[in-house]
């Protein structure tokens, strides 16, 4: 009896451990979208933070910007690289969309890949959508 229980337990354990690998073998994974900088962003070759920090922490940065603008009325961000940026997604030449001018290719492609629905656009507008 105990031998059968041990074998059953080992079988369940092996299935549980190997099931993620089996799942990955039978499903197709999509590569992350490759972001191509266009317009002003391609010419500038620099951003508020380096590209690795921006990929990992841009939402935290935008949250900090929102708090700074709303609570302290501070609208300018002084980056470590010496540049000054407008703390806005869509207002002005030195804002996020002032540099990255194609929201669908720049923002939406990664957010769709990650199945993320940011709430930014509930308040902000994409300048191209207004035109």
**How do the domains of the chain map onto residue ranges?**
39-130
Residue 92 and residue 86 in contact, taking contact as beta carbons nearer than 8 Å = yes
Give the percent of the chain with pLDDT over 90: 28
> Confidence class of residue 7 from pLDDT cuts 50, 70 and 90?
very high
> Which percentage of the chain shows pLDDT scores above 70?
95
Write out the DSSP string of 45-114. ---SS-HHHHHHHHHHHHHHHHHHHHHH---EEE-TTS-EEES-SSSSTTSHHHHS--HIIIIIHHHHHT
Mean pLDDT of the chain: 86
* Each residue's pLDDT tens digit, 68-98: 999 999 999 998 888 888 888 877 778 888 8
* Residue with tokens 């308040």, as numbered in its chain: 123
Burial class (CB in 10 A: 0-12, 13-18, 19+), 96: buried
Condensed to tens digits (0 to 9), the pLDDT of residues 31-47 reads: 888 888 888 888 877 78
Give the global pTM.
Answer: 0.68
Chain CA centroid to CA 106, Å = 10
What is residue 71's predicted lDDT score, i.e. its pLDDT?
95
pLDDT category of residue 127 using cuts at 50, 70 and 90: low
Name the range with the highest mean pLDDT among 5-9, 24-28, 85-89: 5-9
Look at residue 95 in the predicted model and tell me its pLDDT. Answer: 84
């Amino acid at each position: 009896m105990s031998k059968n229980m041990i074998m059953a337990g080992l079988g369940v354990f092996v299935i549980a451990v190997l099931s993620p690998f089996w799942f990955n073998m039978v499903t197709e994974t999509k590569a992350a979208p490759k972001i191509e900088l266009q317009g002003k962003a391609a010419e500038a070759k620099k951003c508020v933070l380096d590209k690795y920090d921006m990929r990992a922490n841009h939402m935290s940065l935008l949250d900090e910007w929102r708090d700074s603008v709303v609570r302290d009325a501070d609208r300018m961000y002084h980056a470590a690289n010496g540049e000054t940026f407008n703390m806005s997604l869509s207002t002005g030449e030195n804002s996020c969309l002032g540099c990255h001018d194609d929201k669908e290719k720049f923002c939406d492609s990664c957010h769709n890949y990650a199945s993320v629905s940011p709430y930014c656009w509930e308040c902000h507008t994409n300048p191209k959508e207004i035109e």
